[in-house]
A and B are shown apart, each in its own frame.
Chain A
Amino acid sequence: MSLLAPSEPNIVRDPPPELPTTVDPIIVYSAPASSTSLAGVQITGFRNTAAGTVPASLFNAAQVAAANYIRDHVHVNVDLNNPQEKALADAMIDALFYDIATAAANGTSKFTDALGNKYTGADLVKLIKNVDFNIYGQASALAAGVNAPSGGFTKFTSWADITSHAEVTFDLGKLSTTLSGEATDHGAAYAIAHELGHALPAGHQIAQQDWQAVKAANPGLQGQALYNAWAVSSQRADSEAFANTLGHEITTFVGGSWLQNSNPGGGYWHGIM
């Protein structure tokens, strides 16, 4: 059965107040000129049409923390000769930088998720540091055997332990299709926020509960039949909805706007699952 996700959001992200800018800045990072990948991305500054380039040497502590996170936890491999693919990877790095820099700059501010968990900005940074991101172009995803079914997914070192390390993987070729006409800065920011909603312990906990509920309601099912039961279950939808809810809460906390998109193809298309 093909299901369209209900109208799903996209994000408009305001720059952190530290940046002297009136337009969205673009992160500049180093990559070997001869390379076809961006493995080991290092943030070297912001490029901004209004303010020129802001070098990393002028970053404040929060921005340095974000840049270091990207260097240590974000693994990028895209075709630099494919401008759309590179632009989507850039937008994802940009989104992560803002999430972390803003949370780190507001370390004592708090928000509460839908389960009642309270987070400070410092808590959020600590939790995100337990998540790695793989951002693969289509060719490198295929070479790595990733085959991310709809473009992005999260897996855990230990399914049983909600504090275990999480790894988010994007296949940009498929993600571009999934995001439909929203494979833009906003769509990239949405994809990052949504997967963080899965990857943080609260999202992991909800997924555990939903999966157990489906298995309990369908004792003995295996393989294809178990897949079918999960695919049409309200619990699967609940897990995805929670990822959106937590993603929304994180986005709001870091100063972004969460827009409802009336285009059913916008945001994630959870379609055929």
Chain B
Amino acid sequence: MYRRLPSLIASILVLLCGAVSASAGSMSHLDIFDGFGRGVILYGDYTVDLGYGLEFGGLSLAAPPRPPVSLRGNAPAVEICNTDAFFCLRSKGEVSFVAPRACGAPAVGTVWSVGDVKTVVLAHYVAPWFKTWSQDQPPPEGAGPPDVYLLGDPARPQSIYFYSPRHGVTDVMFRDGGPGERAVELARAGKIDPFAAAKPGGPIRKSLLTPDTVAACK
């Protein structure tokens, strides 16, 4: 019996290693938060943790680091509010939006709503590379999606979202420069070109760092 113990332990270890390996191998394809990957989303240093219902960091560089928003109350600071037709993130902080599950080309002015969460398509831009792409050869290396939409809610004018249907919400931008100078207003006025270089002192743009897509259509 005891002579067989080492081989038994070895067998268990092999099985365990196999299970861990299989799990690790499929990690990048997990979508257990239904459109929100593994539930931890980083836009730069701005963090949304759907498992804990936390949202923390600051989209405004001028603002000091904040404690997790959910520490201010008992309810989750951020939660998924998906429906059959929409992905939806409801937040007490900065990142709150609705996007359709179905792929399409939304017109500027389109409004998506789930309960109290509303998102308006504020603007649409086409990538410069796409305008000159001959299609007899591949897109330039690393080319991002050709269509980028700016989304936002006039009731939360300080935040907008960069969205491409098949790539989801790829960036968030924050600007609260007072009336007429808030992110939603600037986007509607055509003053935020997602393909232009950032200007010093301009709106703060934070890109998705985590590998899962966020609210990408399927």
Contacts and interface: CB of A to CB of B under 8 A. Distances in A.
15 contacts: A1-B166, A147-B127, A148-B140, A152-B141, A153-B140, A173-B197, A222-B135, A224-B147, A227-B139, A230-B139, A240-B141, A270-B142, A271-B211, A272-B144, A273-B141
Interface size class of B (residues with CB under 8 A): 20 to 34
With most chain A CB atoms within 10 A of its CB, the pick from B140, B141, B144 is B141
A31 B32 CA distance: 55
B167 A149 contact: no
B167 A1 contact: yes
Interface string A213-240: 0100000001110111011000010011
Given A2-B167, A222-B135, A272-B145, A227 B130 contact: yes
Contacts of B140: 148-149, 153, 155
7 closest cross-chain pairs (CB), A and B: A150-B142, A153-B141, A149-B143, A153-B140, A159-B137, A149-B142, A4-B211
A207 interface: yes
Interface of B: 28, 127-130, 133, 135-147, 166-168, 170, 195-197, 207-209, 211-213, 216
A102 B170 CA distance: 42
Nearest to B28: A4
A151 interface: yes
Contacts of A86: none
A272 B138 contact: no
Interface size class of A (residues with CB under 8 A): 35 or more
Nearest to A180: B209
A159 to B, nearest CB: 4
A226 B135 contact: yes
A198 B209 CA distance: 26
Interface string A128-166: 000000000011001001011111111110010000000
A1 B213 CA distance: 6
A258 interface: no
A4 B147 CA distance: 21
B213 A273 contact: no
A145 B147 CA distance: 18
A169 B143 CA distance: 13
A147 to B, nearest CB: 5
Contacts of B207: 177
A164 to B, nearest CB: 12
A207 B170 contact: no
Nearest to A178: B142
A268 interface: yes
A150 to B, nearest CB: 2
Given A214-B138, A270-B141, A273-B143, 6 more contacts: A139-B197, A148-B142, A156-B137, A236-B138, A264-B211, A273-B141
B127 to A, nearest CB: 8
Contacts of B166: 1, 228
Contacts of B168: 2
A237 to B, nearest CB: 12
Nearest to A148: B140
A211 interface: yes
Contact of A153 (B136, B142, B170): B142
Contacts of B209: 265
Nearest to A228: B166
